[in-house]
């Protein structure tokens, strides 16, 4: 194998790091989108309970 000049090696390393950073950011964004979707579903269910006249603390007091 031919010896790679330091600059070329460094450039490959920086390219790899940049691609890795982009992949991690995409994964973080996907997780954030899923979490926001779950939160919006929970908020909609809570709003529907309130609109139907159910107070969530009502269920905790009646055993």
pLDDT of residue 42: 82
pLDDT score, position 2: 66
Q: What is the mean pLDDT of each run of 10 residues along the chain (63 residues)?
A: 79 96 96 90 79 62 51
CB 46 within 8 A of CB 56: yes
pLDDT at 62: 52
DSSP labels, 20-52: HHHHHHHHHHHHHHHHHHHHHHHHHHHHHHHHT
pTM: 0.55
The tokens of 43 are what?
């908020």
pLDDT at residue 44, as a whole number: 82
């Amino acid at each position: 194998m031919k010896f790679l000049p330091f600059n070329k090696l460094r450039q490959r390393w920086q390219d790899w790091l940049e691609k890795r950073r982009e992949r991690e950011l995409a994964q973080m964004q996907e997780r954030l989108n899923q979490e926001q979707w779950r939160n919006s579903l929970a908020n909609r269910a809570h709003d529907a309970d309130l609109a139907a006249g159910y107070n969530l603390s009502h269920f905790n007091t009646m055993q």
